[in-house]
Structure 1
């Protein structure tokens, strides 16, 4: 049969259906059609394309749909009233009728009615067919009736009548009669059964041999299963990374499944981290289940208009959503009051008011509307008639009572304004984009102000976005963006934006204070938050943006596919383990802050180049004072996290001790000098220090010196660069220090032995529980085992890295800071990259970025960084936390259809992301 080989480079059939009605039936029916009459050694006899939920949710993916239809031989329409109302199903049918023969279209009716009259379809009685098909049908085509055989609750695949309907469809696609395809199905089934019986006989004969080989077979089976699991996990991981820029919620869900299948694989761990940390500002997705066509906002409420005529109100404070239906057409414009209690929406035929609750919307204007606006209080609504920018006047301009829905007054305007705003209940702003803005009095439409000639927008520009309060207006010419105040003050008129790399911007939004601009186009979204520095920031994973609105200058909402996405523009990174805390002030050219995180993770201590020491209780988000000034202090926590040891020169003492109750003088000077590195043993019985005095072991209780190993050749200069010239292994058993010749000397504290590593030219060292990392002058690194007796690997030179390094032993990671202000994470043993995070720009820093004076330290199971005159930031390195965050921000679970779209295996029974 023709269909036995399938379509090598395409599909035997394309399936179109309503997800709302046939979301459960369609994948099952597809499977049965594909497998009907298949040979025993085939996985399927036909290849049928069925678009999943994420494809139909966005017009941006229409090229993917067209590509699938272009390579399909047949079109299978699962007809129902929901399918008849779906604009996406109608678009697919219309494309097929325009580009293919109607004779290759099969109709499978799952609900509703299909009634034929003398001239074709009875338009009045038929409810299951989309408009484009109704218009095209002149004679009754072949169709299959499933209405009596399936329900939403039950599908009986053992019913012979249902098998008969599957044979109808499979036979048509195969190009043979139903009898022939049924006969082939029976022959293949019998052959399979004969092979199964023959296999059973052979197994009986070979029973003894099988028992002998049982152990080998079990091992091989286990190995094969393990390899298949690894391959599937890596396939999911690779797919996740490919979707990060386009559909971040899907990328996160795929990465979570990949890591869950094989958590020890560096590839799945890297994919999970990169999907989790890809978009620093991402807060969460709110899945609507309907394609978003317009977006409006209040102060903490986002409102989406959808392509199928619905409104959805999302309160971002509690994630509560309510929805209502406006009509059958796509919503083209949305506006809301500050509290989201009054919402106006247009769909090209009318304007409605909705209270944002479970009630029905009220029509308040009939006809197309070029603009709608709602005042902050919700008491006033404005509607401009016509379709901007094409309609000329006279066109209606109407003011409506937002409380009652009653029309208050009406006038006409000679053009379609296109953009309206109500800064308050007394003022109406109007802007055509191509001309100028005007300010009118709501009470009588009297013009009170208009733009001056020198701040009009130019010709041939891309348009536009109003701030919610009407105070600012955005437009772009080429890649040059502008935010223009809607008043004649300040005198300069135009606030310059920046060159955002978007050729054809499609969506704009401006914050109420005019300080933030968002623009989208070509499946990318940028925000411009600092007009002076002109550094646009891309928001990865936004997909094709169909609406934008600011809640406030710090929070942006975008519509994409069938979701609203909330962005927090103050969020440094999704990889943060908690809010940043202040780092001591110091110059960019000075030494980096010295930081220590207590073993229990509760306390963060940081010291700068002077006498300041800051202690932060991260559990309760409070700062605690350190009463005594300690110059050049190196902070070190005791094993029980109860005492902070500030190792520095404070006169006649080598340390000041601090606890939650306060600070007090510690050990008197015995082996003094500046300390470069230190660590307390996990059992609390030993403290090892490396500094100008060499290697010193002390009793943590009284500071008594137990061991003093002088290190010859240490340079006398004790400047800022010495912080990275020494390291102590976390168990305080070994220490490493770079001498004046650039050689690394490793000291075995327990054996009291010292030896030098063979290569000179070292500039910094870092210790983990099982590794010593050495960076050399050429920027290359060596990775040794924990006692530095075996060189494990050498990494090529890369001058972009700074000297600061840290090894996070619990996760086996190496962290390095780059000259671009990022932290690069990689597997310390293999060098396999994990991903990067961007450091926050110091708020109090001036001049060049201070990445050369930024420190990075391991903190228990995590990581901490600190920048001069900036902040101490703790980073989350627990994959379980990454998974939890990815699930929370995706706002949904992976579907079985999405799984099958990427993996040729049956999905797990449970695809819940948070399981």
Structure 2
């Protein structure tokens, strides 16, 4: 692309009271991003730096700049909406310049477009001036900079700000955002190549200029490091963006971002990609990222999926099959065992009609029906990979319109009967005859037609229930009827009471035939679910998409809206997005209970989803059913008062393990949080701390050893020292080492330290005093050795947490600010945001790369992440995104809480009370994403972001 003449071609309008720093940073970013370093900027941005007086009119210089500008950038906020000068500048643009060149960057407030009104939703939008009411024929380009402004991070090295600048710069330069990204990276790679050339030249003069060569080599390394950092940030930004539209691509971009450079942004991208893939069991087929039209007008390359009703088997086919190098290659139907999570050998050498056709499995997945040509289909034995019977409903090839293939189809659970509704062409010698519509049932074993009759065109829905009874819903007449398993006579059609006229709606039957879903009609935009037996509407959606699978009973309902697949409860009320695609969803199938959902998109992508979390957490054994209320102070032991004493369990990422029973009744029965229990490494001894008393117990027989000691004030046991005899404890705010044989103090640490915590591996102790944070290591001499002291933000620390192996410590002060301390180096960092009150203390991920806090209750619960090195906020997302374990959390669920188990893993209790291990480490995130998307990045994406950098595929087999 050649550089155009230099001119001012963009104008920034903003509130001088609020957004001067943001406007200045945005101006710099638009000038610098993707600008060749040897040239002046190709885009010039004007920003008025003065505030006009109260009696002034719009300045002549500003009017001149507005007349000469090709684009208008409004930094929108409630303050800007109230500004007289912003309104006048916007009004001048509306009257004199094209609105398709009007761009919006939101720095504060709320913005919402109403697609039905074709205008902003002015009841919700508070950051735009009223002069923009009705000014746009369609929704304009806008970006959200509220989080960037709140964080005050205005560097192009910061992924969110860089992504917003690239989005705004793209139309100014007449490019796509990908081209802007590519140009910026190309300029950086040019600098790298020039530095490499300089190194080569200097190497030839090594004997005369060794020092210069060393310096050049260092500069080369720095340039390469900068190039890798830039590429990592660009990939991380793309991953965060793709998480909303294509989780598979988000996983690939995040993996490569981390492989290029393990930055805070790439760590954030990994975690967000895992959250986006929370309900993904498997990505089978990547999308081609192109909607091919190979077969004439109105025909799309087909992708079809089918899930057996028992949820154990999946079949799919696609014209975009990556295993087939050419269109004339023998086609496959791919098979996947959902229960075993394993791909099976495909059914090979099959055919399907142009545009696709019926693909359906029997209830147990033993049989499969494939429409091979219009109105012709085969019944396959899946295990033997052979055709059992071929059927011809009518001469589909003679129909004048190829789309008139099978319109409704059903396969009995045992594969013994098939039913279909289809078109029949007129007789060959009847040129003026009409195409008719028929409904037939066949015996699969013999191929004989059991019934054959005329039906209402395209208004019939069919399903076999679990007992093999066939149900038919006739929309034209509003009736239902059934055909018993061994019968050839239909029951008398029964009119569904209270059912409105549904002839203009798309309809379907539940897996058991008792309910029907009705798609949006001309008078009602929402979905409906009807009880066909009792003639009453069970649920109505609010324009949420199109119901594509209705389960037996009250399982999750599958709804498709464009590119997304979502699960709703039986009342169409509790929505959870299972997954999204880069193109519209073309085919969907679900198990009878609604748990397993497969979908395929128009560009050939195929994925399998679960309506319960797959990636967000792993349920661990909890046979004694311990609850959050039974956890002791450090949450690593559970204590339950029972008849004759107290039962103790160790709580870890592998499950709840019994420690033993002690013959002691707690002073506050049922309130384990008031109890402190520490257990020796061999599990034979436990020290119990309750209020002011410490006592030693033999866990093998449940008896007390010695008499214990009452200290007359608060006392908290912390951990056993390596010898299994001495313990560390806080006595009256003083950190001490005690001999459990005599309860004599063998070491007292100077100063008052409270609170105090111990790492899960029992090697490190950390406490807070008025002087800051102190960290000690436990020594083989049964002492605490001070290894680090560090200052913290604020004078009062409300809580302190430590990583599982003692590498990092974090404190939270009274204002919610976090101080992070690296124990090895002494490096400290302060958070860019604050924690939330009442949510419990944060925890470190298993590899200490992130600090995580859970806050809120029920569906409002979120996870907030911080970078454990820089303290920067790394985003937040719904607790449900990371696997609540059920579609509908209990309304009475307690506040979300994370805690560290005895083995250093991060645990939580799901709303239904199950104990869940949370994947909160980069190593775990990378494994999850590599299992889902092991493929290398496509060459086009690799060249765009990584050309010139040697980056191996992150998911290479070991």
Shorter chain as normaliser: what TM range?
0.5 to 0.7
1:220 aligns with 2:219: yes
Deviations 1:752-782 (A, max 9, x none): 9999989455433334435553334443344
Per-residue deviation, 1:803: 3.2
Per-residue deviation, 1:239: 1.9
Alpha-carbon spacing, 1:676–1:851, altered in 2? closer, same or farther (3 Å):
farther
Q: Whole-Å Cα distance in 2 between the matches of residues 868 and 336 of structure 1?
A: 35
1:511 aligns with 2:561: no
Q: Whole-Å Cα distance in 1 between the matches of residues 873 and 279 of structure 2?
A: 23
Deviations 1:431-487 (A, max 9, x none): 2456534123253342345342224575765x344333434322344664433344x
Alpha-carbon spacing, 1:763–1:465, altered in 2? closer, same or farther (3 Å):
farther
1:365 aligns with 2:393: yes
1:322 aligns with 2:346: yes
Provide the residue aligned with 2:314 in structure 1.
302
Alpha-carbon spacing, 1:306–1:885, altered in 2? closer, same or farther (3 Å):
same
Provide the residue aligned with 2:363 in structure 1.
338
Per-residue deviation, 1:313: 3.4
Q: What SS does structure 1 have at the residue aligned with 2:230? A: helix
1:766 aligns with 2:801: yes
Q: Whole-Å Cα distance in 2 between the matches of residues 278 and 414 of structure 1?
A: 43
Q: Whole-Å Cα distance in 1 between the matches of residues 878 and 466 of structure 2?
A: 43
Alpha-carbon spacing, 1:869–1:702, altered in 2? closer, same or farther (3 Å):
farther
Alpha-carbon spacing, 1:728–1:888, altered in 2? closer, same or farther (3 Å):
closer
Give the conservation status (yes or no) of the 8 Å contact 2:482–2:491: yes
Per-residue deviation, 1:429: 1.5
Alpha-carbon spacing, 1:289–1:803, altered in 2? closer, same or farther (3 Å):
closer
Q: Whole-Å Cα distance in 2 between the matches of residues 779 and 826 of structure 1?
A: 13
Deviations 1:831-870 (A, max 9, x none): 2344557266699997643117x45236555322347982
- State how 1:87-166 maps to structure 2 within 5 Å: none
Provide the residue aligned with 2:143 in structure 1.
none
Per-residue deviation, 1:519: 0.3
1:555 aligns with 2:592: no
Give the conservation status (yes or no) of the 8 Å contact 2:479–2:494: yes
1:793 equivalent among 811, 824, 830:
830
Per-residue deviation, 1:522: 2.0
Deviations 1:299-322 (A, max 9, x none): 211222535786433332332142
1:482 equivalent among 520, 528, 539:
528
1:523 aligns with 2:563: yes
Q: Whole-Å Cα distance in 2 between the matches of residues 377 and 865 of structure 1?
A: 42
Alpha-carbon spacing, 1:613–1:447, altered in 2? closer, same or farther (3 Å):
same
Provide the residue aligned with 2:658 in structure 1.
624
Provide the residue aligned with 1:736 in structure 2.
767
Alpha-carbon spacing, 1:796–1:565, altered in 2? closer, same or farther (3 Å):
closer
1:279 equivalent among 258, 277, 284:
277
Q: What SS does structure 1 have at the residue aligned with 2:709? A: coil
- Gaps of at least 5 residues in structure 1 are 9-40, 42-194, 598-603, 715-724
- State how 1:385-424 maps to structure 2 within 5 Å: 385-386=422-423, 394-423=436-465
Deviations 1:84-133 (A, max 9, x none): xxxxxxxxxxxxxxxxxxxxxxxxxxxxxxxxxxxxxxxxxxxxxxxxxx
Alpha-carbon spacing, 1:333–1:511, altered in 2? closer, same or farther (3 Å):
same
Greater Cα shift, 537-546 or 372-381: 537-546
Give the conservation status (yes or no) of the 8 Å contact 1:305–1:311: yes
Q: Whole-Å Cα distance in 1 between the matches of residues 945 and 475 of structure 2?
A: 45
Per-residue deviation, 1:620: 7.3
Per-residue deviation, 1:734: 4.9
Q: What SS does structure 2 have at the residue aligned with 1:811? A: coil
Give the conservation status (yes or no) of the 8 Å contact 2:567–2:578: yes
Provide the residue aligned with 1:349 in structure 2.
374
1:802 aligns with 2:814: no
Provide the residue aligned with 2:620 in structure 1.
579
Alpha-carbon spacing, 1:377–1:669, altered in 2? closer, same or farther (3 Å):
same
Per-residue deviation, 1:399: 1.1
1:253 aligns with 2:252: yes
Greater Cα shift, 420-429 or 372-381: 420-429
Q: What SS does structure 2 have at the residue aligned with 1:272? A: helix
1:775 aligns with 2:812: yes
Q: Whole-Å Cα distance in 2 between the matches of residues 202 and 652 of structure 1?
A: 76
Deviations 1:586-637 (A, max 9, x none): 79xxx6833768xxxxxx6324699865636868767537433652554655
Give the conservation status (yes or no) of the 8 Å contact 1:335–1:374: yes
Alpha-carbon spacing, 1:218–1:378, altered in 2? closer, same or farther (3 Å):
same
Give the conservation status (yes or no) of the 8 Å contact 2:808–2:821: yes
Alpha-carbon spacing, 1:713–1:342, altered in 2? closer, same or farther (3 Å):
closer
Q: Whole-Å Cα distance in 1 between the matches of residues 714 and 624 of structure 2?
A: 21
Task: Please give the TM-score of this superposition, normalised by the length of structure 1.
Answer: 0.64
1:453 equivalent among 474, 480, 497:
497
Give the conservation status (yes or no) of the 8 Å contact 1:630–1:656: no
1:605 equivalent among 629, 634, 637:
637
Per-residue deviation, 1:557: 1.8
Provide the residue aligned with 2:125 in structure 1.
none
- Gaps of at least 5 residues in structure 2 are 6-37, 39-193, 289-300, 321-330, 397-404, 425-432, 777-782
Alpha-carbon spacing, 1:483–1:288, altered in 2? closer, same or farther (3 Å):
same
Q: What SS does structure 1 have at the residue aligned with 2:366? A: coil
Provide the residue aligned with 2:900 in structure 1.
857
Q: Whole-Å Cα distance in 1 between the matches of residues 229 and 378 of structure 2?
A: 54
Per-residue deviation, 1:374: 0.1
Provide the residue aligned with 2:585 in structure 1.
545
Greater Cα shift, 617-626 or 550-559: 617-626
Q: Whole-Å Cα distance in 2 between the matches of residues 444 and 371 of structure 1?
A: 19
Q: Whole-Å Cα distance in 1 between the matches of residues 789 and 248 of structure 2?
A: 53
Q: What SS does structure 2 have at the residue aligned with 1:899? A: helix
Give the conservation status (yes or no) of the 8 Å contact 1:344–1:373: no
1:312 equivalent among 322, 329, 334:
334
Provide the residue aligned with 2:51 in structure 1.
none
1:593 aligns with 2:615: no
Q: Whole-Å Cα distance in 1 between the matches of residues 207 and 792 of structure 2?
A: 60
Alpha-carbon spacing, 1:795–1:466, altered in 2? closer, same or farther (3 Å):
same
Per-residue deviation, 1:822: 3.0
Task: Please give the TM-score of this superposition, normalised by the length of structure 2.
Answer: 0.61
Q: Whole-Å Cα distance in 2 between the matches of residues 872 and 755 of structure 1?
A: 36
1:438 equivalent among 476, 480, 486:
480
Provide the residue aligned with 1:428 in structure 2.
470
Q: Whole-Å Cα distance in 2 between the matches of residues 793 and 583 of structure 1?
A: 41
Per-residue deviation, 1:808: 4.8
2:851 equivalent among 803, 814, 829:
814
Q: Whole-Å Cα distance in 1 between the matches of residues 528 and 503 of structure 2?
A: 14
Q: Whole-Å Cα distance in 1 between the matches of residues 257 and 242 of structure 2?
A: 14
Q: What SS does structure 2 have at the residue aligned with 1:454? A: coil
Per-residue deviation, 1:797: 4.0
Q: What SS does structure 1 have at the residue aligned with 2:536? A: coil
Per-residue deviation, 1:396: 1.5
Q: Whole-Å Cα distance in 1 between the matches of residues 551 and 225 of structure 2?
A: 52
Provide the residue aligned with 1:243 in structure 2.
242
Q: Whole-Å Cα distance in 2 between the matches of residues 208 and 708 of structure 1?
A: 62
